[in-house]
Amino acid sequence: MKAAYILTYLLLFSPWLFAQRTVKADTIKPAKGNVEKQLEQIKERKIKLHSDSTGNEPLKSRLIDTTIQDRYGDILNDDPKYNKRSSLLLSAGGVPVSDVVSWLADRYVLNTRTSHISTTTWNNNLKKGWEWNNDKFGTNFVVNPYLGTLAFNDSRSNGYNYFQSYGFAFAGSMIWEYFGQSVRPSYNDLIYTSINGAFLGEIFYRLSSNILDDRTRGTERVFREILAGLIDPKRGFNRLIQGKTFRVTNKEVYQKEPLNVSLYAGTHMINDETEGYFGKVTYSEMTNIQLDYGNPFELRSRKPFDFFKLRADLNFGVGSKFLDNISGYGILLGKNMQLGKMAILVGGFQYYDYWDNKEFELGSIGFGGGVFTKLPISKTLDLYTNVHLALVPFAGNSIPYGADTSQLRDFDFGDGAEGKFESTLNLGKFASISLIYYYFIIHTYVGTPGNNYMGILKPRITVRIFKNISVGFEQYLYTDNRHLVDYPDIHLNRTEEKVFLLLYLEDPQRRGHYN
């Protein structure tokens, strides 16, 4: 249920994430390939070259932001004058508070079995040590990362950066494993809560920054504070005790980046035949939200998560599970360049995947490299492509044999690799054609020995019917191949289709970028 609340908040209020900003309507013009034009653009954006020891300023030297704004007037960092870093002791004190609040909800609202703790359970956890737990798939790969955002954003909203806040997420998870539950601490909780808690936490922090505006007053200010607090509860709480909720400034004090929001709603057709591409069809309702934050082709120095994508699919009417998938990536470091007409971003990324469908369950953490390109083919045709290759240090993958139960763990733990390809051809403002392919290789190290190969192919087409409303069709092809030590090989295919209406809210700073 916690996962449902999170996604419902994003789904209901996401248009306001976009609507809160007033920006210029010019388009992005990436740097050209020669030195003179790059220097000219650097001067325009008030970015200087870092001088070497000889006093020269070679183009290849590292770029440093020397002003607070980019070419659109957006500040590149939270203004340190209005977002001072709290003491380490004060920030660390908020971590156990987050755990206590989570425990109170588990104990007195949900009354979960594991919330009945005492000094006896604490002593048992400290003595018996760690294990791989048997929690449900959604608990491990959705609920736990969300809980990790609380400790992470306690630090983030106290003036610490992304990497520094990682430690707070880890500490919060460690305290919870020993003292927040009656069962033994688990390896998978510590890993996933910390790492993907930081992933989601940074996304929530940046989305709430796009909403907050300390220059506003009255009803607008109240609405902004409430909405930002729903998306990032720990930041909302800290703003209250820090006095920022009622503070009024005469300038923007939070970093904001352009944000595109895509909202889908329509019919989901699930083909039940597992040994063929089409078979008996089950119909259900589906909704989807996709957030594209930041401009991948703007010439700038890159920081963690100044560019990210997050997509979530909800499916209603088929069984008790309604969260089909969450997938996304966030940049950690990167560099922009220009090759002829093609704009390029090369970077290192963190990846988050959660898939729960009739073919398989898959939850994973990934770290790797990605390349984004924009190629203008003509005045009305643009091709956007991105390719990724990443290592997966930790993943959960459904057990291929045995009964599926919602009460005990029905998946194995493993590691492996993933590859992703996404390409979209924009036909002016009238239509788009996309092809998306994800491939995962997971080697089991806790559970059924063997290797698992899972693919997801998604061709899609959208046609505009009125302003920013389009009709679309998306095909899904799932492939699931298992090579297991103690069981026969498994080779399964399944197809699904989605017919939907798309509401596309485009930030003018990202005009023309759709993927």
The answer, yes or no, to whether residue 330 has pLDDT greater than 70, is: yes
Q: pLDDT band for position 435 (50/70/90)?
A: very high
Q: Domain of residue 293: give its range.
A: 259-510
CA distance 471 to 432: 11
Q: Looking at the structure, do residues 229 and 101 belong to the same domain, yes or no?
A: yes
Enter the DSSP assignment of 191. Answer: H
Per-residue 3-state assignment (H helix, E strand, C coil) for 499-513: EEEEEEECCHHHCCC
pTM: 0.84
Closest CA to 110 of 179, 181, 192, 173: 181
Same domain for 40 and 105, yes or no, is no
Q: Is the pLDDT of residue 22 over 50?
A: no
Q: List all residues 6 or more positions away from 515 whose beta carbon is below 8 Å from its beta carbon.
A: 292, 309, 384, 386, 422, 423, 424, 434
- DSSP letter (8 states) at residue 468: T
Last residue of a domain, one of 246, 274, 309: 246
Examine the domain organization and report whether 227 and 309 are in the same domain. Answer: no
In a domain, 94, yes or no: yes
Candidate from 128-132, 379-383, 402-406, 494-498 with smallest mean pLDDT: 402-406
How would residue 10 be classed by pLDDT, with cut points 50, 70 and 90?
very low
Based on the domain organization, do 436 and 453 belong to the same domain? yes
Residue 43 pLDDT > 50: no
Is residue 29 predicted with pLDDT exceeding 80?
Answer: no
271: CATH:
2.40.160
Same domain membership, residue 311 and residue 228: no
Q: Residue 27: pLDDT above 50?
A: no
Q: In the prediction, which pLDDT does 68 show?
A: 55
DSSP 8-state code for residue 114: G
pLDDT score for 141: 93
| Assigned token pair, 381 | 């045709």
Query: Residue 417: its pLDDT value, please?
Result: 98
Residue 47 forms part of a structural domain: yes
Task: Give mean pLDDT, residues 472-498.
Answer: 92
- The helix (H) or strand (E) run that includes residue 12 is helix 2-19
316 and 436 housed in the same domain: yes
Average pLDDT over residues 241-255: 93
**Residue 234 and residue 269 share a domain:** no
The pLDDT of residue 484 is above 60: yes
Question: What's the number of domains the chain is made of?
Answer: 3
Which pLDDT band holds residue 410 (cuts at 50, 70, 90)? confident
More confident residue, 32 or 267: 267
> Are 450 and 326 within one domain?
yes
pLDDT at residue 39 greater than cutoff 80 = no
Let me know if residue 515 belongs to a domain: no
Mean pLDDT of 350-368: 94
pLDDT of residue 90: 81
Q: pLDDT, tens digit, for every residue of 388-407?
A: 999 999 999 998 765 444 45
Instruction: Return all residues near 176 (Cβ < 8 A) that are at least 6 apart.
Output: 99, 102, 147, 189, 193
Same domain, 222 and 318: no
Residue 204 has pLDDT above 60, yes or no: yes
Per-residue three-class SS string for 122-163: HHHHHHHCCECCCCCHHHHHHHHHHHHHHHHHHHHCCCCCHH
What pLDDT shows up at residue 38?
Answer: 43
| Residues 288 and 335 placed together within one structural domain of the fold | yes
Per-residue pLDDT band for 66 (boundaries 50, 70, 90) equals very low
* Alpha-carbon span 392 to 394, nearest angstrom: 6
Residue 70 lies in a domain: no
Question: Are residues 308 and 165 located together in one domain of the fold?
Answer: no
The predicted model gives 344-369 an average pLDDT of 95
Query: Tell me, what's the pLDDT at 187?
Result: 94
Residue 110 pLDDT: 85
Average pLDDT value over all residues in the chain = 83
- The letter for the amino acid at 485 is V
pLDDT of residue 88: 85
pLDDT in the model for residue 510: 60
In a domain, 252, yes or no: no
- The last residue of a domain, from among 246, 275, 290: 246
